[in-house]
């Protein structure tokens, strides 16, 4: 079945370590997104990519990096520069702009120890 | 600035009807979305409104008034499984989604 797969579902990190969250989709979507979700707040956009080998910063890109070498894959690295990385991270993809519907992965919960 | 407002939490009774409101102020408008999110899970798509009026889909309906910057999600015949957060999101003139903080709906027997 088509969908988006995120891994790992749960991740623990020590302060000062970089971690990479995986996101793979087989929906043949061009656009992919990374969001961060904190309690009591709306989804906040970290990075997005409309096409392979191109990506744009969202509202809270500082301390994060991404790559888009393949259409199917959009990994997110949470670097040691991110001051408050403990959060629920959601990857999503979308088809043509006029439909706009986002398809989400199951999410990755990162906890910094 | 861009802003989406929705109530933080609502409580309703199993079998009843509940209306969750969403008001927005955005730079342009290319549609409004409602998503359902159970605790610890990813959001799932419920509805999309781009024209004024009511869209009905089974027990769920969504209404839009673009002139008032207002939408609501109506849930009928509430079931315990409807306990979740409901997220309102607006697509702005740049086709970016602006998200509300979500409304946590608690269903009581």
Beta bridge partners of B87: B35
Question: pLDDT value at position A98?
Answer: 58
Cβ-defined contact of A100 to B97 (cutoff 8 Å): yes
The pLDDT of residue A72 is above 90: yes
CA distance A25 to A72: 5
Beta bridge partners of B23: B5, B70
Is A30 in the B-facing interface, judged by CB distances under 8 Å?
no
Closest partner residue to A100 (CB to CB) among B40, B42, B48 is B48
Question: pLDDT value at position A99?
Answer: 63
Residue pair B17/B76 in contact (Cβ under 8 Å)? The answer is: yes
The pLDDT of residue A42 is above 90: no
In terms of DSSP H, where are the helices of chain B? Answer: none
Q: What confidence tens digit (pLDDT) does each residue in A10-37 have?
A: 999 888 899 999 999 999 999 999 999 9
Ranges of chain B whose pLDDT falls below 50:
none
- Surface of B (90-109) touching A: CB under 8 A: 91, 95-102
Q: Which residues does chain A have within 8 Å of residue B4's beta carbon, measured at their own beta carbons?
A: 42
Nearest-5° angle of CA A88, CA A72, CA A102?
50
- Provide the shortest C-alpha distance from residue A105 to chain B (in Å): 6
Beta bridge partners of B72: B21, B63
Q: Place A2 in a pLDDT band, splitting at 50, 70 and 90.
A: confident
Report, as an integer, the average pLDDT of A71-100: 89
Question: pLDDT value at position A1?
Answer: 67
């Amino acid at each position: 079945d088509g969908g988006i797969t995120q891994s790992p579902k749960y991740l623990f990190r020590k302060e000062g370590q970089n971690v990479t969250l995986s996101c793979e989709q087989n929906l043949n979507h061009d656009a992919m997104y990374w969001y961060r979700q904190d309690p009591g707040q709306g989804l906040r956009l970290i990075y997005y990519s409309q096409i392979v080998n191109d990506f744009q910063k969202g509202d809270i890109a500082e301390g994060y990096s991404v790559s888009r070498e393949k259409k199917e894959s959009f990994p997110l690295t949470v670097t040691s520069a991110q001051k408050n990385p403990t959060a629920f991270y959601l990857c999503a993809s979308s088809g043509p702009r006029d439909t706009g519907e986002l398809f989400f992965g199951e999410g990755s919960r990162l906890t910094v120890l | 600035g861009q802003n989406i407002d929705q109530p933080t939490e609502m409580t309703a009774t199993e079998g009843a009807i509940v209306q969750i409101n969403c008001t927005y102020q955005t730079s342009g408008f290319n549609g409004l979305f409602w998503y359902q999110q159970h605790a610890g899970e990813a959001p799932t798509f419920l509805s999309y409104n781009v024209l004024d009026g009511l869209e009905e889909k089974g027990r769920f309906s969504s209404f839009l008034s673009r002139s008032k910057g207002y939408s609501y999600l109506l849930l009928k015949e509430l079931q315990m499984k409807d306990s979740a957060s409901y997220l309102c999101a607006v697509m702005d003139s740049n086709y970016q989604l602006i998200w509300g903080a979500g409304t946590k709906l608690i269903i009581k027997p």
